[in-house]
Amino acid sequence: MKVTIASAQYPVTEHADFSAWEAHVEKWVGEAASKGAELLLFPEYGSMELVSIFSEDVKRDIRKQIHALDAIRNEYCAAFESLAKKYHVVIVAPTIPVVENGKNLNRAYVFSQTGPAGYQDKFFMTRFENEEWGIESAPKTLTVFEAEWGKFGVQICYDVEFSVGSQLLSHAGATLVLAPSCTETIRGATRVHIGARARALENQAYTVVSQTVGNAAWSPAVDINYGFAAFYATPDKDLPEEGIIATMPPNQEGWLIQALDFSKIENVRNSGQVFNFKDHARLSSALFDEEIRIENRIL
């Protein structure tokens, strides 16, 4: 099976009000859909542009921003749900801070043309999230999303730098791992891309990275952004020799769009030059202090 995926290099921009933001997002979704994209991946914390519609007091306080964004969570989700239905696409929305059971979480919602499909919360926190922003590690549940063309999972930014989530997702049937990300430096972006390439190698899978780009001086949370979109595979037969399917020049806004053929993943897992996926299954990846659960959602 094949699917065409659009990965965003997404700028954090200012908006006059929620309606203006909705029009902005629809322009992005409509452009990707018009180019044949069936699955759209937005980056981590792309939702932070909505802080521009809040009061100056909220704009200056990164912790107040969490609660202000959580207060419009339903409207945010409704906007992407409507766009997924209108354009007949699957959308991995920009991650958004949410508050659940007294914890501040970083969440990626997924929508299909039939409605909300579920979400994936971030497991591993960066120092900025943990020490300054108050974003916390989520309960350990991984979600496998099943579409007619195959199964995929989401590993948000820092999460893709660790093998455990992608391995468990892959052994639950995923052949695609999506990595929405937000980084401010070349080093930070590089760590995410190295992680994505490693996960593609270990699991003989496809990985796709989407990142925020450009500067937003008005935002103390995401004021500087450096990144680029990329599609990776395991370097094996009938796939790119270096495992790099496509990348986009850094810090240019726009979509990187590629068609992926999942029969190639099946082929290398069954008869590749090496058996990374099978051999990786002999290793035990887990957290010492928490059990990781797997949920399945059909799109």
Q: With 0-12 CB in 10 A as exposed, 13-18 as middle and 19+ as buried, what is 119? A: buried
Question: pLDDT tens digits for 142-158?
Answer: 999 999 999 999 999 99
Q: Which of 265, 247, 242 is nearest to 7 (CA)?
A: 247
Question: Mean pLDDT across the stretch 12-21?
Answer: 97
Sign of CA dihedral 182, 183, 186, 191: negative
Question: Mean pLDDT across the stretch 191-207?
Answer: 98
Q: Which of 147, 123, 266, 252 is nearest to 203 (CA)?
A: 266
Place 285 in a pLDDT band, splitting at 50, 70 and 90: confident
For 168, the domain range is 2-298
The number of domains in the chain is 1
Report the CATH number that the domain containing residue 136 is assigned in CATH.
3.60.110.10
Question: pLDDT tens digits for 6-15?
Answer: 999 999 999 9
